[in-house]
Homo-oligomer: A and B are copies of this chain.
Amino acid sequence: MKTSFRDIYCGEVSDRFIGKELKLCGWIKRVRDLGGMIFFDLKDREGYIQCFVEKANTKVYNIVKDIRMEDCVWIKGMVRERKDKNPNIKTGNVEIEVFEIKLFNRSSELPFLVEDDINVFEETRLKYRFLDLKRPLMQNNIILKHRFVQIVRDNLNKKGFIEVETPYLSKSTPEGARDFLVPSRLAPGKFYALPQSPQLYKQILMVSGFDRYYQFARCFRDEDLRKDRQPEFTQLDIEMSFVEEEDVFQMIEELFEDIFNRLFMKTLNCPFPRLTYFTSLNKYGSDKPDLRVNWEIKDFTNLLKDKGIKIFEGCEAILSLEIDVDITRKKVEELNEFVKSQGGKGVTYVKYTDSLSGPLSRFISADYLKKGNVYLFVADKKEKAIFILGRLREKCIKLLEPELKEDFSFVWITEFPLYVWDEEEKRWEPAHHPFTMPRNPGDIDKSPREVIGRQYDLVLNGVEIGSGSIRNHDPELQRKILKKMGYSDEDIEKRFGFFLSALSYGAPPHGGIALGLDRIIVTLLGLGSIRDVIPFPKTAKGYALFEGAPSEVGKEQLKDLKLELKNEND
C-alpha cells in the first residue's frame, strides 16, 4: 500500500518493477557484508526483498555498515534483476540497489530472534510480545483470524443477520462461573458485572423483533484458570427467531462450508453427523468425541463375565475400545499407566491380525472381533469404565494418529440433560444455562435427572467449539425452571425480573449458538494454545506479562470508589 513514505510493500516488489526506482520502508532482516558490497534483506508484513549497496556509495554504505536486525529504515533504490534467483520467495527474481537510506529507529539488542523457529520460554515471548507478534507465524495466525472473522461476517450479513453491540458494564448473570465486578463511583457500594456472555441481551433482541442477530462478543469469566482458558475471550454469538434445532444446524453448516471454501479451498461434508448426548457418551465415552477416527466402545460384559478372568472379577461392566490401527506392546504399557492415572484398574487387550494375540486372546472367539483391529479392555463400574475409555480414546488418538492434524471432523451433540448434579454444591445446576427449553415442557415436573433440554454442542476434532440451545420463550415455564433450581420468588424478581418481564411481551420462539472464536482458530490451525491466536493474552494466573496487569492502584482511586483493601489477616 502506497503512503507518503513508500511506493509498495517490500513483499510486493516483482519483475514488473525492474528498472524502476522505488521507495520502501521496513525492518532489517539480515545483513551480509561482502567487503566491497553489503547485502541486506528488508522486510514488512507482506514479505522481504534483497537489497544491496556498493562501497562506492560512501554515504549509504557507511550507514548500512552499522545497521542491525530489526532496525527500521526507509530506502530509495533501483529494482534490478537478480543474478542468483531465489525461487523460494515471492520477490526472489529481483533485488534493489540502494541509493538512499534513512534510519527511522534503531532496535535495542534482541532477547530472541524474530523468526519462527525459536526456542524460548513462553514467558519471555509474552513479556516481549511486540517482538513475538512480529514473527511470521504469529503474524499469520492473527491475519488468518482476521480473515476468518470477515468471512463469518460476510456470510451472516448475506443471511440477514444484524450485528448488534451489547453492554460490557452489565448486570451479573448466572452462567456458572464468577463474574468480574466493576465498582461504580457514581453509585458507591454498587457494582457492574462484566458479562460472561450476552445471553440475556441477545434473547431480548429477539423479543425486540430483530429476528437475526450476531456479534463477536467479548466474554469475561473469573475462573481459577485452567491451562488453556483466558479470563476474557471472544465468542461468535448468534441468535435467531422462529427456529428449531435444524435451522441453527443448517445455518452453521453453511457458515463452515463457506469458511473452508474461502479460507482453505476445501470442501466440507455437510450436513454434519448428529449424535444424542447419551449415544455419544455410550459410543465414545465423551460428549465431545473426536470423529476423525470411528473407534467405538463395545460392551463385552455378557461375553466375558464369569469366565474366570481375574482382572474382571466383580466388575459391573467389561467394555472395550475397538481401534483399527496396530499398537505395540510398549504403547499398551503406556496406555495402562494412563488408565491408572485416570483412576482405572488398568487396560488389557486382544489383537486380531492373522490370529488373535494378547492377554485376552484365549478367552474370546474371533467371531466377535474384526480382523485387523485391536480391542482395549477396561472393566469397572459401567459409568466409570465409559469415562475411562473416553479418556483412553483421546489418548490413543494423540498417541497413534499424529497425522490426523490435517483432517476435520464436525459433529453435533444433541439432547443434553437440562440439569447436571453439582456434587460440590449438592444441587442440580443447569447443564448449559437456565434459559434452555426442555424437550417436553411437561417433563420439568419430573425428577431433574430425567429432563432433556433442547441444547446442542458443536464439536470439531474432539474440541467443543460451540454450544447453543432452543430457548425457553414461555415466561411462566421459565419462572418454574428457575424455582426448580432453588431460587426464591424474591431472588427471581431481583435477578431475572427484567428478563421475565421482557418474555411476557410476546416473546417469539428463538434459539441460537455461541462459538468460541479462539478455540476454533486454534483447532483449525492445529496450534497448541489459544494464546497463539490472541495478540495480548493473559497467563494461566490471569497476568498480562507485557503491559503488567493487574497492578496496584492509588489510595485516592479506592477512596473515590468507597472501597478498602481488606487486611490479609482479617
A interface with B by C-beta (< 8 Å): 1, 3-6, 9, 25, 27, 43-45, 70-72, 74, 104-108, 110, 128-131, 133-134, 139, 142-143, 146, 149-150, 153, 157, 159-160, 162-172, 178-194, 200-201, 204-205, 207-212, 218, 220, 222, 224-225, 231-232, 234, 240-244, 246-247, 473-475, 497-499, 501-509, 534-536, 538, 541-544, 546-553, 557, 559-566, 568
Listed A/B pairs (5) with beta-carbon separation below 8 Å: A106-B504, A131-B505, A150-B157, A171-B544, A181-B553
Q: Which listed residue, B1, B170, B208, B497, touches A130 by the CB 8 Å rule?
A: B208
Asked whether, in the complex, the Cβ of B536 is within 8 Å of the Cβ of A220, the reply is no
CB-based contact B205/A535 at 8 Å: yes
Contact of A72 among B153, B507, B544 (CB under 8 A): B507
A133 partner residues in chain B, CB cutoff 8 A: 205, 208-210
- Are B211 and A45 in contact, with the CB atoms below 8 A? yes
- Kindly provide the distance from the CB of A181 to the nearest chain B CB, expressed in whole angstroms: 6
| In-complex Cβ contact of A506 among B27, B547, B562 (8 A) | B27
A167 touches B544 (CB 8 A): yes
Judge whether A181 and B183 touch: CB under 8 Å.
Answer: yes
Chain B residues positioned under 8 Å from A9 (CB to CB): 211
Residues of B within 8 A of A232 (CB): 167-169
User: Which chain B residues border A501 with CB–CB below 8 Å?
Assistant: 108
Asked if A3 meets B240 with Cβ closer than 8 Å, knowing A506-B27, A548-B498, A553-B181, the reply is yes
Task: Tell me the number of copies of this protein.
Answer: 2
Assembly CA distance A153 to B200 (angstroms): 27
Question: B146, B166, B224, B243: which contacts A4 (Cβ < 8 A)?
Answer: B243
- Given known contacts A72-B508, A224-B186, A566-B564, A170 and B549 CB-to-CB distance under 8 angstroms: yes
- Tell me, in angstroms, the Cα distance from A559 to B27 when the chains sit together: 50
The minimal Cβ–Cβ distance linking A56 to chain B, given in whole angstroms, is 28
Complex contacts, A181 vs chain B, CB 8 Å: 182-183, 553, 557, 561
User: Is the CB–CB distance between B204 and A130 below 8 Å?
Assistant: yes
User: Chain B residues near A190 (CB, 8 Å)?
Assistant: 550-552
Residues of chain B contacted by A187 (CB below 8 angstroms):
541-543, 550
Interface centre among A70, A165, A204, A563 (most CB of B within 10 A): A165
Give the distance in Å from the alpha carbon of A535 to the alpha carbon of B162 in the complex.
Answer: 12
| A11 CA / B2 CA spacing, docked (Å) | 46
State the Cβ distance, A294 to closest chain B Cβ, in Å. 31
Question: Is B171's CB under 8 angstroms from A547's CB?
Answer: yes
Cβ-defined partner of A505 (8 Å) among B70, B194, B565: B70
Partner among B131, B160, B509, B536 whose Cβ is within 8 Å of the Cβ of A167: B536
Q: How far is the CA of A207 from the CA of B544 in the complex (A)?
A: 18
Kindly identify which residue among B3, B211, B506, B509 contacts A70, using a CB–CB cutoff of 8 Å. Answer: B506
Asked whether A506 lies within 8 Å of B242 as measured between CB atoms, the reply is no
| A566: chain B residues within 8 A (beta carbon) | 559, 562-564
Q: How far is the CB of A535 from chain B (nearest CB, A)?
A: 6
Q: Does A212 contact B1, Cβ atoms closer than 8 Å?
A: yes
Question: How far apart are A441's CB and chain B's nearest CB, in angstroms?
Answer: 13
Which B residues are in CB contact (< 8 Å) with A143? 162
Cβ contacts under 8 Å, A243 to chain B: 3-5
For A546, list chain B residues within 8 Å (CB): 498
Task: Compute how far the CA of A186 lies from the CA of B225 in the bound complex, rounded to whole angstroms.
Answer: 9
Q: Closest chain B residue to A216 by CB distance?
A: B165
Complex interface: chain B residues within 8 A of A222 (CB): 185-186
Closest to A185 in B: B222
Bound state CA distance, A246 and B171, in angstroms? Answer: 44
Instruction: Give the distance in Å from the alpha carbon of A44 to the alpha carbon of B165 in the complex.
Output: 21
A27 to B207, CA, bound (A): 10
Among residues of B, the one whose C-beta sits closest to the C-beta of A23 is: B242
Instruction: A499 to B129: give the CA distance in the assembly, Å.
Output: 11
B residues near A224, Cβ cutoff 8 Å: 186
Task: Determine if A171 and B506 form an interchain contact, defined as CB atoms under 8 angstroms apart.
Answer: no
Q: Which residue of B lies closest to A475 (CB)?
A: B105
What residues on B are CB-neighbors of A142 within 8 Å?
Answer: 162, 164, 210
CB-CB under 8 A for A186 and B506, given A212-B1, A565-B562: no
Contacts A186-B542, A208-B134 given; indicate if A508 touches B25 (C-beta within 8 A). Answer: yes
